[in-house]
Amino acid sequence: MSLGERLRSAYFAFWLDLSERLGRVRGPRPEAPGSLEDPPLEAALAARIDALRRRFGVRFECSLGRETALQNYARLELLDRAAGALGTALPQGRDVHDVGCASFWYAPALHAAFRPRSLRGFEVEGYRRLQGGINRAERALGYAAQLPATEFVIADYATVRECAGLVTAFFPFVTRAPVLAWRLPLRVLAPEALFACVRANLAPDGELWMVNHGEGEAETAALIAVSAGLRCRGFYVEPDPLLARPEPAVVSRWSPGDVQVR
Ligand SMILES: C[S@@+](CC[C@H](N)C(=O)[O-])C[C@H]1O[C@@H](n2cnc3c(N)ncnc32)[C@H](O)[C@@H]1O
């Protein structure tokens, strides 16, 4: 680790610790609903969104701002296309854990995709300040309050011991650079412990659906997942995302391997 990385990590650790000491939640702060009509969407994008609306019976913009609604359609389409390409159905009716959910802005897409019995989003940095004088937990509670059986939990997932039928992990940290880019200390980077916990929490017929930035990160994550006792059931590289991305999203599907590692 370079000196620069050490210094930045120490600086971010100071702010994370302070936010944990001083953080408080004043109640849910939902987003104001937006509109996808004004300005109108480009025709091809509008057609893809219409297809998702019909297929999943959703209209995200009724409860989310425009940008968040668009991003939810993008995430829903990614999961739907990944399932099709992997030759499986999206798991339905399970107890779902989402690992590292940030403000849990994509909880509506998870709900639409998986119709979970329960949905819990876990985030280690719950009190990050957001625009408008609110914090991440307040925003997350705002999203969760609009969905049935949905909770936001401030916790390091590596310490959570609860059974899940489905674990989702969108862009888990597996290398140093993204941790610092998210203004977090490097102590947060413990992918071996995180994946071991996912493995231990998964029901015997449970699944992990993971999404990584690009094939390089997906390969790094896959090596750690295999070491943790997870068995890969397939990869899908998104060729044509609904919204432009710097690197293709790589979705992978995992089930518990034969050997319980902990
Ligand atoms: C790259 S961000 C992805 C956020 C979100 N999943 C998304 O797709 O927008 C990774 C997130 O995971 C959180 N995180 C990292 N390690 C964690 C852990 N052990 N337990 C819970 N959250 C964690 C970080 O604070 C950050 O919000």
Would you say how long the chain is, in residues?
A: 262
pLDDT of residue 123: 98
For the chain, which residues score pLDDT lower than 70?
259-262
Question: What angle is formed at CA 62 by the lines to CA 147 and CA 51, rounded to 5 degrees?
Answer: 95
Closest residue by Cα to atom 18, ligand 1, is 156
State whether the beta carbon of 185 lies less than 6 angstroms from ligand 1: no
Cβ–ligand 1 distance for 78 under 6 Å, the answer: no
Give me the residue spans of the domains in the chain.
Answer: 3-27+91-256
pLDDT at 259: 57
- Structure tokens given for 115: 């119709």
Cβ 183 vs Cβ 220: under 8 Å: no
Kindly give the number of the ligand 1 atom that is closest to the alpha carbon of 169: 6
Whether ligand 1 lies within 6 angstroms of the CB of 101 is answered as: yes
Pocket test for ligand 1, best of 125, 187, 208 (most atoms within 8 A of CB): 125
The topology (CATH level 3) of 3-27+91-256 is Rossmann fold (3.40.50)
Sheet holding 249-256, edge to edge: 150-154, 118-123, 95-99, 164-170, 202-213, 249-256, 230-237
| SS3 category, 149 | coil
Compute the distance between CA of residue 176 and CA of residue 178 in angstroms, rounded to an integer.
6
For residue 165, give both structure tokens: 């039928």
Count H helices and E strands in the chain, helices first: 8, 7
